[in-house]
Structure 1
C-alpha cells in the first residue's frame, strides 16, 4: 500500500465523516428550533439520536414539514411534481424528506436549505434566526485536491440535459432543442429523413444527417417512426399531446406503470385519428379533432408545468383501465392552454422566448447522436450478461430526432442546428 493510500485510510475518511456530520448536526439543530408563532414545530424529524455523535448517526436527516396545526404538509403542496397525490394513509405519511450531506457539501448548502424552509413556512417576524457556523466546520475539514469533485460547471449552460440512463455509468445525454417555426401552415413544414443537419457552431468536417424521426403521441407510451412529419408550434405535430392519468388525475409514467411501454399509438393523418394498439386488446381509435370546447376542462400537472386538459371519454378510459389493470383515463392537452418553456440562455445567443410546449418535460424536441450511443454501448457491453442492441439503446432515450454525427458527444457543443428549412436553438 502506498504512503498516500495509508494516509488517506488513516485520516481522509475520518475528516469526511467529521465534516459531513458537522453539517448534519448544524442543520438538525436549526430545524429542531424552528417554531411557528403559536409555538408549533415547523418540522417533525425522524431520528433515534440527538445528532451528538458521528459514530452512531450518519449525515442524513429525515423529516416531514408540518403546518401550524401540526398536520403533515403533503408533498404535492411542498412542490412534489411527479407521481400520485396520496400523502397520508391511516394517519401516516407515505413519504418523507431526506437530506444527505457528502464530501462536497458546504455550510452554504445547509444555509440555503434552511433559508428555503424559513422563507416558505415562516413569516418575517418568525424567522429572525442568526446563522452561526459550527466550530467543527473549517476549510481544513475536507480538501479539494480531487478534481472529480469539482466539475459542477463542466456542462455547457446552453444545453438542457435530460434523464440519464443506466445508473452511474457514463451516459449519453439527450439534447433538448426549441424551434420557432415560420409563420406558415404546420402541415407545409416537413423535416425529412436524410436532410443534412448543420450545427451553426460547427466548422467543416463530415456532414451530419438525420437518421430517424420518432413520434410519441401519448406520454410514456411507445413511439412510432416516421420518414417525414409535420411540425407545429409545439414540436412535431401531435407529439406528447395525450397522457394517461390515475383516478386522481395525476399523470402516470413508466416509473409507476412499466406496461405503458407496450401501448402502441400511431397517428393516421389521412383519417384524422390516433390508433392505439396493445397485445391482447382490440385496437381503439381517438379522433384528432380538438373537442376541448365541448368537454370539461381540468388542470393537470406535468412535472413543473401546469396544463389544461380534457378527458377523452369513458370508452377509451375503459380500454386503458382493462389493459393496465387499474382505474385510469386518457386525457389530452387543451388547445386553450399551452406550457411555456422557462429555459434560459446564458451564452449571449438569441433566446427562444415564449416557447410553447406539449406534455413534454423540458423542450419541444429531444435529440440524440448515434455516435454517442455507440460509445456508451462500448463502455457498458463488458458489464452486461446480454449486451443491449444499438437500436434498443437509442429507444431508451425516447428522442424525437436521431442524428448521425462523426464525433461522439459533439452535440454537447452545438448552439443551433438547421434541418432543411427549420432552425433550432439548442
Structure 2
C-alpha cells in the first residue's frame, strides 16, 4: 500500500519546507557548486555530520597541488624548506584565530592529535591543588551533559585529591541566584578551579549559553560563586564549531579544544587547543619532547623550556602537512558557504523542519511515531544546533531498538548514528536511565558502542541525525519517508493541531487543515528537559498476538524438511538429505572462510559474489570441491594432517566484525569467552586458522577480482561459548559461525513473510522474484522445519529432531545480508523491509540452536523427514 498520506506527501515538498523555514541560505548557483563538490554523496543520505563532516573535492585537490609545487621540510631545521614550513604553519595559526574573531595577542594555538588530546593536555598541566577540607583546594567542575573525554579529566584530578563537582544543566543558574556566599576578590586566593561545559551538546544539540564563560570567570554563576579562588573555563567547542560561529573576543574562554575534521572533514587526527594567553602561564608540564627545550642536561635534572607556550607544549615534530591543509579547508568553507552564519542558518533550518514533521507523525491509532529528546521546540539557532535525537515508537508506544532502526536505514543508504554518543550523562537524563541501571546493563552484557539497544524493553540509547553545510532538503525528505514507510502503522496520521501550533509559533504561516480531532493536542511524547523523565507507559499486546495460535502441548510434532550446510562461510549452501553431526555442529559446516589480503573475513555484505561460489563435500573421497560459473572446479582435502603441509601455514583472523573479545589460552592461541559481564558482541572473534595454499587463492582472486585467500579453522583450535548451554553440559564448541552451532527457521514464518512481500503495494519491490525456496535461501539456515504457526519457534526453549536434542540459544537478529539474492548476488531492500514492517520494527527471524551432547550417541546423523518435537528443557 502507499506508505504516505497525501498530506504527508505535501509536507515533504520543498514548497512546504520553505513555508516552515526561510533560511535555506545558499542560492541556486551556490547549491549547484556544493553538489558538484560532493558528488560522491549521490544516492547517499548522510546524517552524521556531528560525527564527521566531509571535505570538498576542490579542498583536497588544491592541497595536493600545494604540496606538489612546494617543498616543505621539518620545521625544526633552519634550511629554506623548513623555513617555508614554519612560516606556513604560523600563517595557519593566525587564520584559525581570525576565524574565531581573536588574535595572537589574546590566544595561542597548540596543535594536538584531536580535541581529546587537547583535553588531556589541560588535565595533565592544569595547576591542581589538593584539598585539605571541603572549602580549600582546586575544584574540577563539569556539566553532566559533557562528552566522555571531558568527564575523563577526573581520572587525573581525583588521585590528586582535587574536588569533583558534576553540575546538572538546571543547576548552573538556579543555584547561583540562590547563593548567599560573599565573594572574595580573586587576588585574595590564588587556588585555580576549572569549569568545563560544551558549547553544544553532542547528544541533543542543545546550545548552552556562551555567556556562562564570563559568568563563571566572574564568579557570578554556580559553582564558581560558592568557591573562592580563580576560575577558568574550558569550553568544549569541538561539536559546536562545525556549524556555528564562535566569537572568542565576546566569550573569552580560557581553553577551547577543537577538532578540524568536524569543520572541514579533512584532515583527521588533527586538533588544537586554543589557550587564552592570560591562562597559558599557569599550565605546567612534566614531560618534555623534541622541540620544547631551550636547554637541558642528560647527566643531571636540568631542563629549561622554551619561552613561548606553543613551543613548550607541541612535543616532537607537529603534523605539518596536515596543518598546511587547513589553509585549503578554510578556503573551501568560505568559497562554498560565505560565512559560518550562513552555515548555521542552513543546517538549523533542516533540523527544525525535520523536527516539526517528525514530532507530528502518528500511527493509525494516533500514537506518536517518535520520542524526541530535546529542550526546546527548535525556535532559534541560538539555543539549538543542527542535531535531532530521538527513538522511534511502535503503535503500542514501545521503543523500537536503535539497532533495528540502523539496520533498516542501511537498506535505504541512510547513514545515521546510534547509541549514547560517548555522553552517558545526557543519555541517562533524557532516557531516564538510573545509575543502578547503567551498572545492571553492564552486567547484562551492554557496553558503550555495542548493538544491545533494549534491555527489559527499555532503550539503552537512541538515534541521532545531524546536518552539515552540504546537507540538502532531500536528505530530510529521504529520512522522513523512510521512517513512515518502515515504522508507521498505516494509515499515517498527522497531529494537525501540533503542526499548526509549531508553524504559527513564529516559524511560518500555518497551512494545516482538516484537523483530526481524535489526535492529541499537546506534544506527542514528553520532550525531555534534562531530568529523569521516562516515556508514558502504554499497554502493549505482543505483535505476535495478532496471529491466532492453536492450543499447543509438549507433544506437538513438526517435520524437518531441509538440511543445509555452508562449508565456506558466506558461500553458497550445500543441501543434503542426511548429514552427520560433529563437535562443532553439522560436520564441516563453516570450517573454511575467504579473507582479503589483510586477513579480514569477506562476507556477502562486503563481497556479494561469494554466494555464486558453490562448495560440495564428498565424504567418501574426503574432499571439498569449489565451483563457480566460468571457472574450472578446484578440489581441496577436508582434513589437515599437520600445521604446515603443502604450503599451508598457520594464521589468525576474525570471524566477523562483532563477536567475543579474544583472551589468551595456553593451548589454542586466541579465542575463548570473556569473563561474565563483558560484552560478547563487541570485540570480534579471533580464530586460529590455516592458509589453504596458493592454488585456491589464485582461483578465488580471479573469480572475485581482488586478492584473497581461503583459510580453514585449525583442528587444534577450540572456540566455545558459555551462553545457551544446557544444565551440567559442556559449553558448545563452535566453528566459524557467528553465534551458535545451528540456525533453524520455520516454513510457516517464511510463508507469512512471503505473503506480506507479495501483498505490498510498492512498485519498487520487484516481489515477483520471490518464491518459497528463494526466500528460504535468503535466511541461510541449517535446518528448515514445517511448523504450525508463524514465529512460534521464538518461544521454544528446547527441541528434539529424531533422537537428537538441541537447546534454543536465542533469536537470530537479521541484517542487510538477507537482501542478497543467493542466485545472482544482486541486492534488494527485501525481505528486511517487509520483515520490519510485518513485525512492527522487529527484525528477528529464526532461532539459534546448540547440540546437547548425549553420551550414548554423541554425534548422530540428521535426516530430512525426521520428526521435530518441542519439549521443556527439564525433560532433556
TM bucket (normalised to shorter chain) is 0.5 to 0.7
Secondary structure of the 1:58 match is: strand
- Which residue of the other structure, out of 753, 766, 774, is the alignment partner of 1:385? 766
| 1:324 to 1:136, Cα distance in 2 relative to 1, 3 A | same
- The answer to whether 1:106 aligns with 2:392 is no
| 1:283 to 1:57, Cα distance in 2 relative to 1, 3 A | same
Write the deviation string for residues 137-194 of structure 1: whole angstroms up to 9, x where unpaired. 335574233748xx8xx99xxxxxxxxxxxxxx9xxxxxxxxxxxxxxxxxxxxxxxx
- The answer to whether 1:416 aligns with 2:416 is no
| 1:45 to 1:351, Cα distance in 2 relative to 1, 3 A | farther
Structure with bigger gyration radius: 2
Shift of 1:416: 1.4
Shift of 1:214: 0.5
CA distance in 2, matches of 1:414, 1:37: 50
- The answer to whether 1:355 aligns with 2:748 is no
Shift of 1:337: 0.7
- RMSD of aligned residue pairs (Cα, Å): 3.9
- Unmatched runs of 5 consecutive residues or more in structure 2: 1-142, 158-193, 195-233, 245-373, 375-381, 391-414, 422-426, 449-527, 547-551, 660-684, 809-876
- The answer to whether 1:213 aligns with 2:563 is yes
- The answer to whether 1:300 aligns with 2:653 is yes
- Which residue of the other structure, out of 363, 384, 403, is the alignment partner of 1:54? 384
- The answer to whether 1:342 aligns with 2:695 is no
Contact 2:430 2:529 in 1 (8 A): no
| 1:289 to 1:99, Cα distance in 2 relative to 1, 3 A | closer
Write the deviation string for residues 95-146 of structure 1: whole angstroms up to 9, x where unpaired. 99754689996142899499967xxxxxxxxxxxxxxxxx923355742337
State which drifts further: 262-271 or 408-417.
408-417
CA distance in 2, matches of 1:380, 1:26: 46
Aligned residue number for residue 131 of structure 1: none
Write the deviation string for residues 393-412 of structure 1: whole angstroms up to 9, x where unpaired. 11111111100112222212
- Unmatched runs of 5 consecutive residues or more in structure 1: 1-24, 61-94, 118-134, 156-169, 171-200
Contact 2:564 2:575 in 1 (8 A): yes
- The answer to whether 1:371 aligns with 2:735 is no
Shift of 1:46: 5.1
| 1:318 to 1:29, Cα distance in 2 relative to 1, 3 A | closer
Aligned residue number for residue 21 of structure 1: none
Secondary structure of the 1:108 match is: coil
CA distance in 2, matches of 1:404, 1:326: 41
Contact 2:748 2:786 in 1 (8 A): yes
| 1:46 to 1:390, Cα distance in 2 relative to 1, 3 A | farther
- The answer to whether 1:251 aligns with 2:572 is no
Aligned residue number for residue 312 of structure 1: 692
Contact 1:306 1:339 in 2 (8 A): no
Spell out the pairing of 1:38-49 with structure 2 (5 A cutoff): 48=242
Contact 2:585 2:741 in 1 (8 A): yes
- The answer to whether 1:225 aligns with 2:575 is yes
Spell out the pairing of 1:273-284 with structure 2 (5 A cutoff): 273-284=623-634
| 1:297 to 1:97, Cα distance in 2 relative to 1, 3 A | farther
Contact 2:572 2:615 in 1 (8 A): yes
- Which residue of the other structure, out of 604, 613, 620, is the alignment partner of 1:263? 613
Shift of 1:344: 4.3
Contact 2:653 2:687 in 1 (8 A): yes
Write the deviation string for residues 190-218 of structure 1: whole angstroms up to 9, x where unpaired. xxxxxxxxxxx94344x311101001000
| 1:109 to 1:254, Cα distance in 2 relative to 1, 3 A | farther
| 1:420 to 1:374, Cα distance in 2 relative to 1, 3 A | same
Shift of 1:232: 0.3
Contact 1:344 1:351 in 2 (8 A): no
Q: TM-score by structure 1 length?
A: 0.61
Aligned residue number for residue 236 of structure 1: 586
Contact 2:564 2:781 in 1 (8 A): yes
Spell out the pairing of 1:3-18 with structure 2 (5 A cutoff): none
State which drifts further: 27-36 or 234-243.
27-36
- Name whichever structure is richer in helix by fraction: 2
Higher relative contact order (CA 8 A, sep 6+): 1
Secondary structure of the 2:767 match is: coil
| 1:143 to 1:37, Cα distance in 2 relative to 1, 3 A | same
| 1:202 to 1:26, Cα distance in 2 relative to 1, 3 A | farther
Shift of 1:55: 5.7
CA distance in 1, matches of 2:631, 2:564: 24
- Which residue of the other structure, out of 321, 330, 338, is the alignment partner of 2:701? 321
Secondary structure of the 1:362 match is: coil
Aligned residue number for residue 554 of structure 2: 203
Secondary structure of the 2:388 match is: coil
